[in-house]
């Protein structure tokens, strides 16, 4: 940073003002330097900021050509389409419908396994009189279910992915709503006397 007696070079002005060097150079082209010596031209900060303000006003006053604006928009849309196409080809992108279908399948699998815990636990709890023993057995069963969940591989859904990749969003079925809770007893029926 070249700072001498409150004067700044183009590089120092760029660092201090946040403008790039090209913008500062353009703004100061017609502005006489406050200090000019063998090491270059330098301006006071006030002088440079006034020149930059004038350039900014000229840039804002200049109308943007609607054709150029439309070209820029078209280029942006084409780039986004190309990125999406490449993401699909590389497998980095999956359709929302497929993501929802996979999530629904995983959630239903989890629900089934969680609802099966009481029916599995009931026979194992017969004869247990201590709460601590029952708690230990239940924790072990829940831990087994959680380990099973953690081993669920998304690879099992690859067939679904391949099947759905050729379809459009209108062809993919919407996720089915969650089943209503029936609050029926799960497990063995109570013996009636």
List, for residues 113-140, the tens digit of each pLDDT value: 888 888 888 888 888 888 898 889 888 8
Answer for the pair 102, 160: CB distance below 8 angstroms, yes or no: yes
- Residue 2's pLDDT is 46
Tokens linked to 102? 């996979």
The DSSP line for 138-190 is: HHHHHHHHHHHHHT--GGGGHHHHHHHHTS-TTTSPPPPPPPPP-----SSPP
CA distance 79 to 75: 6
Q: Is this model's pTM higher than 0.75 or not? A: no
CA distance 76 to 54: 31
The segments of the chain whose pLDDT lies below 50 read 1-4, 168-175
**pLDDT tens digits, 180-193:** 555 565 556 666 65
- Residue 3's pLDDT is 45
């Amino acid at each position: 940073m070249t700072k001498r007696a409150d004067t700044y070079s183009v590089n120092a002005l760029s660092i201090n003002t946040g403008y790039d060097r090209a913008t500062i150079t353009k703004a100061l082209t017609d502005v006489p330097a406050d200090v000019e010596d063998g090491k270059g031209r330098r301006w006071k900060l006030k002088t440079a900021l006034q020149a930059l303000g004038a350039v900014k006003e000229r840039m804002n006053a200049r109308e943007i050509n609607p054709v150029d604006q439309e070209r820029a928009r078209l280029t942006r849309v084409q780039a986004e389409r190309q990125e999406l196409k490449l993401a699909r080809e590389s497998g980095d992108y999956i359709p929302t419908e497929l993501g929802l279908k996979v999530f629904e399948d995983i959630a239903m699998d989890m629900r089934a396994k969680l609802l099966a815990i009481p029916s599995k636990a009931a026979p194992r709890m017969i004869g247990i009189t201590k709460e601590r023993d029952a708690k230990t057995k239940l924790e072990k069963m829940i831990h087994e279910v959680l380990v099973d969940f953690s081993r669920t591989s998304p690879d099992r859904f690859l067939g679904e992915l391949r099947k759905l990749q050729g379809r459009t969003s209108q062809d993919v079925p919407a996720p089915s709503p969650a089943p209503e809770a029936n609050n029926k007893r799960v497990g063995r029926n109570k013996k009636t006397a």
